[in-house]
Amino acid sequence: MGLLSFTDDFNEVLDRWDGTVGAPSRENRKRTSVRVYKNGFMEHVIGTSHPAMPGVWFGPFVAYGLYVAFTGPQGMGMGLGTFAVGILAFSLLEYCLHRFPFHWPPGPTRAGRLRLFIMHGYHHQFPNDPRRLVAPPALSWPIGALVMLAYWLTLGAPHMWTLYGGTAVGYLAYDWIHYYTHHVRSPKTFIGKRLRRAHAVHHYQLFHLNMGISSPLWDYVFRTFAWSDDTVKKAIAETRRVEGMQTES
């Protein structure tokens, strides 16, 4: 058994997939997940643990970024401003990653289909997989490292630390709000209801719209936001239908 060998079940799902990052297929609506790798270690690597873990991984960067903002030589005003820019920067990065590489047509090759399916297609086919509650380290750590490198090359210390601390806050907001929209089925707050509905529209109705998870800001800027009553009702009904089918199975 090779380290990267896929299960027969996963290969069957991939072969059936039409390459569209959209609503779950009829076959996949009756299940919540599929095992990807035969190797248990690799299956653990692409999965996640408790949804609080991103705070363990990135919380120290938030704390250090705030510390530098308050005590660094750039002054508290500049430091907090840079920290706030970091939050905004992540919201734009989140939007761009989701809209472009995560939803880019995979092309005719199986390698392209596999790459997109692992990256984001799986999430659309099994949106309520309890083993994938938040982004796994295999995804968040490399992106985080590349962002840190870019900040270091362009800014250097101390600004990179305050900017990165704000970016880490933006990432945590994204991961926890995304968890909330999928796994808190009956939000009680006005904002919670709107966020869940907007994401349901993206998953089950208009896959090329509502790309922002933590905020609809960039959807408004780039005119990719959808919020008609009819669209929302259809998307929520589809969400509940899929969840009901998965619960029954």
Q: pLDDT tens digits, the chain, 249 residues: what are they?
A: 577 899 999 999 999 999 999 889 888 988 889 999 999 888 888 877 688 999 999 999 999 999 999 998 889 999 999 999 999 999 999 999 999 999 999 988 999 999 999 999 999 999 988 888 888 888 899 999 999 999 999 999 889 999 999 999 999 999 999 999 998 878 888 888 888 888 988 998 888 889 999 999 999 999 888 877 676 667 667 666 766 665 665
Residue with tokens 């401003």: 81
Any idea of the CA torsion for 161, 162, 167, 173, to the nearest 10 degrees?
Answer: 120
As to burial, measured by CB atoms within 10 angstroms (0-12 exposed, 13-18 middle, 19+ buried), residue 137 is: middle
- Amino acid 219: pLDDT: 94
Q: Please give the Cα distance from 246 to 182 (Å, whole number).
A: 14
Q: Facing residues of 37 across strands?
A: 6
Question: Within its chain, how far is the Cα of 84 from the centroid?
Answer: 21
- Amino acid 247: pLDDT: 62
Question: Within its chain, how far is the Cα of 52 from the centroid?
Answer: 15
Q: Please give the Cα distance from 210 to 220 (Å, whole number).
A: 9
**What backbone torsions phi and psi does residue 6 show, to the nearest 5 degrees?**
-90, 155
pTM for this model (two decimals): 0.87
Give the CA distances from residue 155 to residues 41, 147, 150, 152, 189, in Å, rounded to whole numbers and listed in that order: 38, 12, 8, 5, 39
- Amino acid 47: pLDDT: 79
- Amino acid 71: pLDDT: 94
